[in-house]
Chains A and B, each alone.
Chain A
Amino acid sequence: MIRLGVPSKGRLMEQTFDWFADRGVRLSRSGSDREYAGQVEGAEGVSLVLLSAGEIPRELRAGRIELGVTGTDLIREKLAGWKSDIVEVVPMGFGHADLILAVPECWCDCDNLDDLTSIARDFRAAHGFRLRIATKYHRLVRAWLAAHEVADYQLVDSQGATEGTVANQTAEAIADITSSGATLRANNLKILSEEPILRSQATLFANQAAMDPNMKRFLNQLGL
């Protein structure tokens, strides 16, 4: 049996259902909208597991599901050494979002990461603590800043409403996922003119240990 993990609500679920429907496999939620059980029609030996998108990486690695749909950002952030356990089967072409670094729009002396590095040094000298960057993507952001040799900053954890941390003065900058940038602008923030830390999209992932003939047959059926 191939257990397919799919985000349990919202646009990500609907677009996943559409993606599979286009390939002849009909996924649906059984019963009411509140019930997290699902059905699969058009494929043998596949069952649907509805999960929070954030839990799919962990469940995939643990082998409690064989296939899963989630963002590349979540796999890379949550699973250290993910390539050793997980196969990226195919990007699905929706759920696009960039992980970016944003600073106050009013900082007219800050366009790029070099500016931020210099501002962080001044800030630390003036305030006696490191410039704070609010994020929930600790590993990705830290690795990116380390690769660019940024010093004098600290990450502060923010699991939601991250754009508000600057106005609340619990952070000086943020690193978060954005698709349109509208929330950033509404909070008087601007994106640094750098390549995004990560370009993420919804992607079909498989547990490497589950890549058996059954799995290959199913992926074949999907045209992969």
Chain B
Amino acid sequence: MTLNCGKQTVGKRLLAAFREAGAEEVAPDILLPAESLLDLYGEDIRARAYVTSDPIRGEMMLRPDFTVPVVQAHMENGAEPARYCYLGEVFRKQDMGDTRSETPRDNEYLQAGFELFSHETGADAEVFALFYRLLSPYGARAETGDMGLLLDAVRGLPLPAPRRDALLHHIWRAGRFQQLLVRFSAETRPRDFPQNVASWTGLRSTAEMQARIDRLRADAGSPPLPAIWTERLKRLFAVRAPASEAVVMLRELALEWPEIAGAVERIVTRFDKIARAGVAPEQVVFDASHGRTTMEYYDGFTFSFMAGDRGWPPIASGGRYDALTSVLGKGRRIPAVGGIIRPGLLAELETA
């Protein structure tokens, strides 16, 4: 236990700033039903979340993240546009692998967050400029990305639908994405599926297996993806520069890749709005690969703020998660963007 008055003070100050920006304060439960969170996040979060059991409610999880409960609450009874803010602990186990760290990271830390549910086109810029204004006094460096750009880029590849869908699915997993890309860029050898005499076992049905075999057989005739596309993807993923320069590079790429032109213009418009909100695009890094290493539920704009020593986690992060609202809204969907700041890290910066 450490004296936490420092981080509480910083957290309350952030909360007050979020309220001043029009947000209503919400206080999600600390103990959340585990099932929907596990299905959404998968094993990555299970490895890091504290799961416990309740005799009546079943498996419960100590809040690993605020976004999901805030979205759930909004989808049930929120009106638009809505701005929410919150301050509270999240809990993440720190499994140290084979060697125990000398400086273990906290397994319980404060998050102060702001979430905006709105159809307004300026929503990304509003959230980002608010975070920038709160964090620039700490010398934080802002990095941004856009998953919509990468998703459009992959959708625009001249590939049969099953191949395109596989790439889209694994865009957050760089190694697997690359492996698929290499496979799709070469001639496909037809594959044998030797029947065996083993009795059928398990829940997966023969029809499911047959559907996959049919898909793979049809795929074997696909022409290789021309090498120029791997080259273009590589150039796109490598775009990393102050936003003012990055948009020039992106527009150049869009000349030979018209499918990304729409996404590039959305990025240009967003940075115009961010500039009008008082943040010079020269001060903000745009990294086309940024969103690939963040939470998988971000499907548009992404951002993080870095400060302190090397090896520090981001002091703030966030992004757009439109698809998550439709997953949790059971059909209803609302455009949403938001982010969190870690008051504990800011308090450390203040005392350093």
Contact = CB atoms under 8 A, between A and B. Distances in A.
Interface of A: 76, 80-85, 104-109, 114, 117-119, 121-123, 126-127, 129-130, 139, 142-143, 145-146, 148-149, 151-155, 166-167, 169, 172, 187-190
A135 B42 CA distance: 16
Interface in B89-106: 95-101
Given A107-B204, A151-B169, A188-B201, 12 more contacts: A82-B98, A84-B100, A106-B200, A108-B194, A108-B209, A121-B169, A126-B208, A142-B47, A146-B44, A152-B42, A167-B201, A187-B201
Nearest to A103: B202
B26 interface: no
Contacts of B201: 104-106, 166-167, 187-189
A56 B100 CA distance: 19
Given A109-B216, A146-B43, A155-B46, A188 B199 contact: yes
Given A153-B42, A155-B43, A81 B204 contact: no
Residue from A104, A127, A146 having most chain B Cβ neighbours under 10 A? A104
Contacts of A107: 204, 209
A104 B204 contact: yes
A169 B203 CA distance: 6
A121 B176 CA distance: 13
A151 B196 contact: no
B82 interface: no
Contacts of A130: 39, 42
8 contacts: A82-B98, A106-B199, A119-B204, A139-B47, A151-B42, A154-B42, A166-B201, A169-B203
Q: How large is the interface on B (under 10, 10 to 19, 20 to 34, 35 or more residues)?
A: 35 or more
A1 B113 CA distance: 56
B248 interface: no
Contacts of B199: 106, 188
Contacts of A127: 203
A81 B193 CA distance: 43
Top 4 closest A-B pairs, CB basis?
A81-B100, A105-B198, A84-B100, A149-B173
B123 to A, nearest CB: 29
A188 B198 contact: yes
B39 A169 contact: no
B97 A122 contact: no
B203 A172 contact: yes
B219 to A, nearest CB: 11
Contacts of B44: 146
A129 B202 CA distance: 15
B190 to A, nearest CB: 13
B211 interface: yes
